[in-house]
């Protein structure tokens, strides 16, 4: 039976975000990983604390998008490419020196995006939309990662969301020959089962992630809503690492109003300052909103599969 597996993982770190999406297809036998890296806005330490199990991928990492050009983020990026074979890195702005270092480290392709530019990529049933915001002095990448071309009329979906600690964290890579990670989590964890998007609404499935990094939502929310309007219905996870005082509720309202019947998951680093008012605002907007604070003891994994409604 045709099955398409996917995984959204937010690493258990207290500053910034280390996100990976794993994709596997039983029909094509393809299995690959893509990532988004962004250090915390006020992160002083350059120590890269991502766990080895998470940072190390068995096969080549297809794409790594970099949230901003800060020293801490670039340091984390360089540590990651030393541990993994990376096909492509997407950088915000002009980073000629960094690009050369990445190529020397074995990265096959480096793309430097200019402010105002966009990039689209897809493989198998997964897509990436990336936009660059800011100025030449400092810019940010915002990325959406989610399914593409899945017909809810012919494919069913089962998805669950759970926390994990570093002891239980597995690789973002999906091994179709060994699905022990998924089975273990399903048997021995409490989790949310997300089936609301299986309703016959015509909007399709909502299994994608929006990675906002350190961008100022107050300044760029209108541009983000415009640029990502086509995938609005597909946003399930929202990752924010920047200054919460600069985050108004406009973007969250825009996302929530699209699929009011569904849970939406806001992923914030526990080391980010001034999250209290923002969390209150998110939770008061809708009983469907969920907030997770990632840290040493808590990461978030949202995984599932699309499966044909027809028996082989």
Low-confidence winner among 88-102, 154-168, 206-220, 238-252 (lowest mean pLDDT): 238-252
Can you tell me whether residue 4 is helix, strand or coil? strand
Q: Can you give the pLDDT at residue 179?
A: 62
Chain-centroid distance of CA 262 in Å reads 18
Nearest CA to 29 out of 10, 4, 52 is that of 4
Q: What is the pLDDT of residue 123?
A: 93
Q: For residue 75, is pLDDT > 60?
A: yes
> Which contiguous run of DSSP H or E holds residue 287?
none
Residue 296: closest CA among 56, 35, 47: 47
Total count of residues recorded for the chain: 312
Residue-range domain boundaries for the chain: 3-308
The residue behind tokens 């990976």 is 20
192 pLDDT tier (thresholds 50, 70, 90): confident
Rg (alpha carbons) of the chain, rounded to whole number: 18
Inter-residue contact 164 to 13 (CB < 8 Å): no
pLDDT digits (tens, 9 = 90+) for 264-281: 999 998 877 567 778 888
Class of domain 3-308: alpha beta
Cα dist from 28 to 32, 172, 176, 192, whole Å = 12, 19, 11, 29
**How far lies 204's CA from each of 20, 201, 254, 280, in Å?**
23, 7, 18, 30
- Single pTM value for the model: 0.91
- Reported as a single tens digit per residue, the pLDDT across 149-187 is 998 888 899 899 988 876 555 677 776 666 666 556 666
Query: Is the per-residue pLDDT at 202 higher than 90?
Result: no
User: Which one of 98-107, 239-248, 272-281 scores highest in mean pLDDT?
Assistant: 98-107
Give the pLDDT score at 43. 57
């Amino acid at each position: 039976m045709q099955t398409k597996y996917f995984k959204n993982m937010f690493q258990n770190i207290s500053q910034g975000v280390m996100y990976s999406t794993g994709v596997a297809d039983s029909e094509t036998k393809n299995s690959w990983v893509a990532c988004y890296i962004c250090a915390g806005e006020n992160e002083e330490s350059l120590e890269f604390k991502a766990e080895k199990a998470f940072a190390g991928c068995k096969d080549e990492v297809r794409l790594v998008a970099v949230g901003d050009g800060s020293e801490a983020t670039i340091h984390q990026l360089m540590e990651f490419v030393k541990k993994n074979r990376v096909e492509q890195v997407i950088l915000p702005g002009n980073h000629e020196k960094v690009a050369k270092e990445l190529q020397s480290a074995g990265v096959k392709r480096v793309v430097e995006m200019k402010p105002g530019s966009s990039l689209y990529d897809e493989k198998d049933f997964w897509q990436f939309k990336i936009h660059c915001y800011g100025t030449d002095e400092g810019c940010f990448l915002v990325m959406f990662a989610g399914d593409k071309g899945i017909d809810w009329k012919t494919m069913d979906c089962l998805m669950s969301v759970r926390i994990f600690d570093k002891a239980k964290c597995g690789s973002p890579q999906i091994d179709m020959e060994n699905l022990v990670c998924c089975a273990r989590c399903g048997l021995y964890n409490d989790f949310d089962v997300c089936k609301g998007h299986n309703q016959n609404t015509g909007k399709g499935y909502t299994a994608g992630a929006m990675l906002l990094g350190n961008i100022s939502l107050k300044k760029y929310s209108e541009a983000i809503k415009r640029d990502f309007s086509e995938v609005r219905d597909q946003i399930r996870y929202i990752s924010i690492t920047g200054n919460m005082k600069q985050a108004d509720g406009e973007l969250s309202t825009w996302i929530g109003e699209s699929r009011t019947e569904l849970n939406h998951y806001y992923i914030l680093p526990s080391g980010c300052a001034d999250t209290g008012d923002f969390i209150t605002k998110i939770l008061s907007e809708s009983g469907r909103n969920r907030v997770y604070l990632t840290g040493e003891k808590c990461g978030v994994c949202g995984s599932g599969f699309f499966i044909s409604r027809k028996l082989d």
